[in-house]
Amino acid sequence: MNRMTWELFNVIGTIAFALSGVIVAMEEDYDIMGVYILGFVTAFGGGAVRNLLIGLPVTALWEQGTLFTIAIIVMTLAFLFPIWLNSWLKWGHFFDAVGLAAFAIQGALFAKSMGLPLSAILAAAVLTGTGGGIIRDVLAGRKPLVFRSDIYVLWAILGGLTVGLNIAGTTWELLLLMVVIITLRMLSVQFKWQLPHKRTERQAES
């Protein structure tokens, strides 16, 4: 795995998910500490869960000093100068889609570099791509996107499969994969694509 490629997706995912956390915090009218906390857990929560799954020490999270700095700068600018961000609030799904794509690919690359099997690569892609968003939504008192009827986690699986099966490996191929995942995610939001789901009789009656 190209180290520069891995770092590229790490930075893209960190910025996108940090902004996603800021947007949710602002929508919930959180103060500046709430903005920082929600932004940090969105940007780094998925990676922490992934590391625990594949056996890396929790302290590995604190070795990402540069990414912490990037996240702090992004969140601070978004909080101090919200004028530009307010016009993008309706694009919260877009920032989330970018983070999902970048981190799903990054997680898959990380697991693959460790020589793990395809099942672990898929798990790493899903957990890295969706873990931070799940924690963010839970802390904000929202139903996580992963559990809603619109398609979300499937696109993380697609990223894991593409990387795990060696369909994409070069930087340009992986960037194209990221664009594809973002596009599919946004199309699923726009056209309300859904996976099969059912309700119990009690839910249907209520």
Q: What is the pLDDT of residues 93-130, one digit of tens each?
A: 888 899 999 999 999 998 999 999 999 999 999 999 99
Task: Please tell me what DSSP assigns to residue 87.
Answer: T
On whether residue 206 sits in a domain, the answer given is no
Q: For residue 204, what pLDDT is reported?
A: 54
Distance in angstroms (rounded) separating the CA atoms of residues 16 and 76: 14
On whether residue 126 sits in a domain, the answer given is yes
On whether residue 200 sits in a domain, the answer given is no
Distance in angstroms (rounded) separating the CA atoms of residues 193 and 145: 13
Grade residue 199 by pLDDT with cuts at 50, 70 and 90: confident
* Mean pLDDT for the stretch of residues 196-203: 69
Q: For residue 119, what pLDDT is reported?
A: 95
Structural contact between residues 52 and 146, judged by C-beta atoms closer than 8 angstroms: no
What is the pTM (predicted TM-score) of this model?
0.87
On whether residue 41 sits in a domain, the answer given is yes
Q: For residue 73, what pLDDT is reported?
A: 95
Q: 174 pairs with which residues across the strands?
A: none
Q: For residue 54, what pLDDT is reported?
A: 76
Q: 194 pairs with which residues across the strands?
A: 150
On whether residue 9 sits in a domain, the answer given is yes
Total domain count, the chain: 1
Distance in angstroms (rounded) separating the CA atoms of residues 88 and 20: 11
Kindly state the tokens that stand for 18: 């940090």
Task: Please tell me what DSSP assigns to residue 5.
Answer: H
On whether residue 47 sits in a domain, the answer given is yes
Structural Rg of the chain based on CA atoms: 17
Task: Please tell me what DSSP assigns to residue 114.
Answer: T
Q: For residue 57, what pLDDT is reported?
A: 74
On whether residue 28 sits in a domain, the answer given is yes
Residue 178 exposed, middle or buried by CB count within 10 Å (0-12, 13-18, 19+): buried
Domain of 20, in residue numbers: 3-195
Q: For residue 50, what pLDDT is reported?
A: 85
* Mean pLDDT for the stretch of residues 145-170: 89
Q: For residue 86, what pLDDT is reported?
A: 60
**Cβ contacts of 23 within 8 Å, gap of 6 or more:** 85, 88, 89, 92, 95
Q: For residue 95, what pLDDT is reported?
A: 84
Percent of the chain with pLDDT over 70: 90
Element spanning 169, H or E: none
Q: For residue 206, what pLDDT is reported?
A: 53
Q: Which residue has the higher pLDDT, 17 or 202?
A: 17
On whether residue 201 sits in a domain, the answer given is no
